[in-house]
Amino acid sequence: MTTIAPAVTDEASQPTETKRAGSAPDDVRKAALAELMAPVRPMLLTGKILGAISGVAAVVPFVALVELGNTLLEASRSGSEPDSGEINRVVLLLVGGFSVRLLVYFVALLVTHLADLRLHSSIRSRMLTTLSRAPLSWFGENTSGQVRKAIQDDVVHLHVLVAHKPVDYTVAVVMPVSLGIYAFVIDWRLGLLALSLIPVYFSFYAFMMRGMGEKVAILDRKLDELSGTMIEFISGITVVKAFGIAGKAHKRYADQARDIVDFYEEWARPMLRGAALANAIISAPMVMFVVFGGGWLLVRGGYVSPVEVVTVAIIALALPNAMETFGNLTWGAQMAGAAAARILATLDAPTLNLPQASRSHPADASIDIDDVTLRYGQTVAVQDVTEHLPPGTVTALVGPSGSGKSTLAKLVARFQDPDRGSVRIGGVDLRDLTEQELFHHVAFVLQDAQLVR
């Protein structure tokens, strides 16, 4: 029996280096998003350009509408038949403007959705490659729930940001600006009426968005913990069914789920009042009341025509859709930023350098641990350990709890590599062996092993 008791610190104190995007500041999330989306940035730029063209093209039908209305109004006032050629030209312009706008918008979304598919495939491929080369100790420090969330949920969260935001956000900016400019071209007073409710809406919206980034981060962290607890509960369901007490085995999962519900309810309840008021301000009846009320006074004063008032009223009705797009994309961007930071944390997982072919072959079954030191972050787990384990012998690692016994055993199975020193089997460094040859010589039984029925 060989006793190994090197100078070590408690293994229980080893830190988990999982990076949580939930605690990352906004600049970290933005940097993470920029790094992840770099491969598809040209496609996203194309989508933005097409979205801008679509937003500008939205003005064309309104121009045609004004011309059509004025043509019919003048014919009615003069008691003559409207010019059929002019009517056909304006109707063609109206239909053509709508068609071109929708076609360009469709192509823009097609480009960004293709970029989204390419990005999802690239990220998942990179993550699987990284995780396949990660040391097994990394999976001990990071729950399977966290890994599942990164590969499945977090990648899905990028969909809104990649497939929709480049186009919808651009359209939500360009189209209202273009329509607002045209409303001012028609008449500056009508333009002011069309935009008068927007500042009030944004005031309510800004109030509701206070602390959004921080609360999204907290919610995401809670969901991360719940995912890990759920996987833990499901993995132990056999033991729960055999020995668990009804209603108590899933208490931790139920408590965390209730905590998330309470947190979200406390967060969302005050926002409901603000959202109701904001939506009421830009609702169709309110917009019609303001534009038609002010427009009626302008018509009576001889400043504008009824056709111009109706056109600006329709423009004003189109603006709230852009406001809703801003709100939806803001939430999606917050979630995607946190997801991107977690994905990058997973991609930054340490990996083992696995050779394609063994550089040498073990001469026997001896194990040599040569001046090995391993740290978990700043915490020393094992330090300056040297030992020779001859073939054909049984060796027990004896020491107090937390003295590094499990860590040393994991090094022999190459769950991870030491920071200093080497571990050799039959005189060959483990780092010079392929994974297949290593496990041809090393077998192990984990502490949480389960019997297969």
CATH number, domain containing residue 322: 1.20.1560.10
Question: Does residue 272 belong to any structural domain of this protein?
Answer: no
Q: Say if residue 294 is in the same domain as residue 363.
A: no
Residues linked to residue 248 through DSSP beta bridges, in sequence order: none
CA–CA separation, 149 vs 154, rounded Å? 6
Question: Does residue 263 belong to any structural domain of this protein?
Answer: no
Predicted confidence at residue 184, as pLDDT, reads: 92
Q: Say if residue 84 is in the same domain as residue 207.
A: yes
What is the total count of domains within the chain?
2
Q: Say if residue 339 is in the same domain as residue 372.
A: no
Question: Does residue 273 belong to any structural domain of this protein?
Answer: no
Question: Does residue 276 belong to any structural domain of this protein?
Answer: no
CA–CA separation, 320 vs 416, rounded Å? 56
Which among 379, 377, 366, 349 has a CA at the least distance from the CA of 424? 366
Q: At what angle are helices 212-235 and 251-281 packed, to 10 degrees? A: 150
CATH number, domain containing residue 359: 3.40.50.300
Q: Could you tell me the two tokens for 189?
A: 């007073």
Neighbours of 239 (CB within 10 A): 11
Query: Is residue 123 a contact partner of residue 342, using CB atoms and an 8 Å limit?
Result: no
Q: Could you tell me the two tokens for 25?
A: 């500041």
Query: Is residue 53 a contact partner of residue 174, using CB atoms and an 8 Å limit?
Result: no
Q: Say if residue 189 is in the same domain as residue 301.
A: yes
Question: Does residue 3 belong to any structural domain of this protein?
Answer: no
Whether pTM exceeds 0.75: no
**Residues, the chain:** 453
CA–CA separation, 36 vs 344, rounded Å? 8
Question: Does residue 176 belong to any structural domain of this protein?
Answer: yes
CA–CA separation, 420 vs 172, rounded Å? 56
pLDDT along the chain (453 residues), means of 10: 40 40 55 79 94 92 84 79 83 90 95 93 86 76 74 83 89 89 91 87 76 73 75 61 55 81 82 79 87 91 87 85 75 75 82 77 86 79 85 85 80 83 88 83 71 47
Q: Say if residue 364 is in the same domain as residue 216.
A: no
Q: Say if residue 70 is in the same domain as residue 135.
A: yes
CA–CA separation, 227 vs 93, rounded Å? 55
Q: Say if residue 214 is in the same domain as residue 361.
A: no
Query: Is residue 110 a contact partner of residue 67, using CB atoms and an 8 Å limit?
Result: no
Neighbours of 230 (CB within 10 A): 19
The type of residue at 131 is L
Q: Say if residue 138 is in the same domain as residue 61.
A: yes
Among the candidates 312, 347, 382, a domain finishes at 347
Question: Does residue 433 belong to any structural domain of this protein?
Answer: yes
Q: Say if residue 295 is in the same domain as residue 377.
A: no
Sign of CA dihedral 404, 408, 411, 415: negative
Question: Does residue 372 belong to any structural domain of this protein?
Answer: yes
Predicted confidence at residue 23, as pLDDT, reads: 44
Q: Say if residue 127 is in the same domain as residue 55.
A: yes
Neighbours of 52 (CB within 10 A): 19
Predicted confidence at residue 352, as pLDDT, reads: 76
Predicted confidence at residue 12, as pLDDT, reads: 37
Among the candidates 310, 325, 347, a domain finishes at 347
Name the helix (H) or strand (E) containing 254. helix 251-281
Which among 178, 180, 175 has a CA at the least distance from the CA of 198? 180
Q: At what angle are helices 306-347 and 198-208 packed, to 10 degrees? A: 20
Predicted confidence at residue 140, as pLDDT, reads: 66
Q: Say if residue 359 is in the same domain as residue 299.
A: no
Predicted confidence at residue 4, as pLDDT, reads: 43
Q: Which residue spans within 322-448 are E strands per DSSP?
A: 367-376, 379-389, 420-425, 428-429
Among the candidates 301, 325, 347, a domain finishes at 347
Range of the domain at 391: 355-441
Q: Say if residue 341 is in the same domain as residue 359.
A: no
